[in-house]
Amino acid sequence: SKPGILTDWPWKRLGSFKYVVLAPWVIHSIYSYTVKDENERDFSNLLIFPFLLSRMLHNQIWITLSRYRTAKGNNRILDKSIEFEQVDRERNWDDQILFNGTLFYLANMTIPGAGRLLIWRTDGVITTILLHIGPVEFLYYWLHRALHHHYLYSRYHSHHHSSIVTEPITSVIHPFAEHIAYFLLFAIPMLTTTLTGTASIVSLVGYITYIDWMNNMGHCNFELIPKRLFFIFPFLKYLMYTPSFHSLHHTQFRTNYSLFMPIYDYIYDTMDKSTDTLYKTSLHREEESPDVVHLTHLTTPESIYHLRLGFASLASRPHTSKWYLWVMWPVTIWSMMVTRIYGRTFVVERNIFKNLKLQTWAIPKYNIQYSMRWQRESINSLIEEAILEAEDRGIKVLSLGLLNQGEELNRNGELYIRRRPQLKVKVVDGSSLAVAVVLNSIPKGTTQVLLRGHLSKVAYSIAFALCQMGIQVCATSNNFKAQ
């Protein structure tokens, strides 16, 4: 591709400090609302910043839901895994919200009738709906087809189509120039209602929320629209697309151009012939049974944000506490309550290596709980339930990760094998791999190795292997003995 003009966002060089772009507007909004008389205050202006935050939360909920559902496999549309390059490319999905926020503040201050809005106006809501079905959807359809012309596609739209397997936030990953064009389209209902004096907080906030919802849903890579809905309302198939509908656009490229309403693909005969088939097969797809499962656990209450289900920016770095996670303590406490009440193993992520399907499961327990004697029975019960579930689903190997393989907890998994000797699933603790990694890291020509600290099963295995290699092993522990 050949990036065109206005490809990068204006604040790209600011990096993580890009949020300062909104700071003057937010400060002015709060100050104006505070110092003005009650009759002159503009609540709609004050509402802009909380609305932007709610949009970020809305998107994050869709990200978490999509990653959880696609990891489980039921109703998944495409099987291909997401590459690290895509995760990096899509990490700046909040740029669009910053851009919109800046324009909202500008419009509120400069356009007559954009401030001090009523909460509800029926005529404004109806006007917004009609203008979206008509001009917005129609113009977007032809703009989208134009963006697939070689000249524009190679310079702009190919950036979006780099993601074959989509995530909810793929919907807003476009060059800056495209976002300008899209905002001009979406501004048609908002500007019209504002200039005619029919705009309201509900019509504007509701319209943007509708756009976010449909964008996220269309790119979530799992089918969730029930067939019964189209059976009861047959005409709805022309007014609402499905995730499988738009997924075909990302795999076939030259079909299913519509924004949210497929009616224009029907009119101009660009509907993909396999749309209905993919919708039905995705809707009836059952939960996937992997070949291998790695059973891990949470480490701290904040670790939930570092999982793939959480924030990609945290999941891509070593686990360290961030100041802004303290601000999210209500969400953290809520997640702790959910894990305590739900009390079941959950799927964290899914990976494919050639023909081998792997999943990572997590037990809703924290590091500190593994050191409590009264928690051992509960933890062992959860681990055993996970092993039995793996057995029922025909999983071949289940590996115990982190503290799930503790010597004092379950004798490195031996407890479960003794309880259920008929198990077909292979329960492993990863100790052989750990031993191999350590042995491979020892420089050639080494004649003596010192082992310090607690001597575990892995330490004994390392010592035994070193002795077989003719290397002398010394230990600081008094309980060291040949095994």
Q: What is the pLDDT of residues 202-228, one digit of tens each?
A: 999 999 999 999 999 999 999 999 999
Q: What is the pLDDT of residues 302-317, one digit of tens each?
A: 898 999 898 877 877 7
Does position 483 have pLDDT exceeding 50, yes or no? no
Reported as a pLDDT band with limits 50, 70 and 90, residue 479 is low
Q: What is the pLDDT of residue 1?
A: 61
Which residue pairs from 118-122 have beta carbons closer than 8 angstroms and sit at least 24 positions apart in sequence?
Answer: 118/200, 118/201, 119/200, 119/201, 119/202, 120/200, 120/201, 120/202, 121/198, 121/199, 121/200, 121/202, 121/203
Query: For residues 184 and 179, what is the distance between their CA atoms, to the nearest angstrom?
Result: 9
Q: What angle do CA 87, 92, 94 make, to 5 degrees?
A: 130
The answer to whether the CB of 303 falls within 8 A of the CB of 319 is: yes
Does position 431 have pLDDT exceeding 90, yes or no? no
What SS3 state is found at 307?
coil
Whose tokens are 């509907």? That residue is 271
pTM (2 d.p.): 0.90
Whose tokens are 């600081």? That residue is 476
Query: For residues 181 and 198, what is the distance between their CA atoms, to the nearest angstrom?
Result: 24
Provide the β-strand partners of residue 358: 292, 351
> Taking each helix axis from N to C terminus, what angle separates 243-252 and 275-283, rounded to the nearest 10 degrees?
120
Reported as a pLDDT band with limits 50, 70 and 90, residue 480 is low
The answer to whether the CB of 63 falls within 8 A of the CB of 217 is: no
The DSSP output letter for 304 is: G
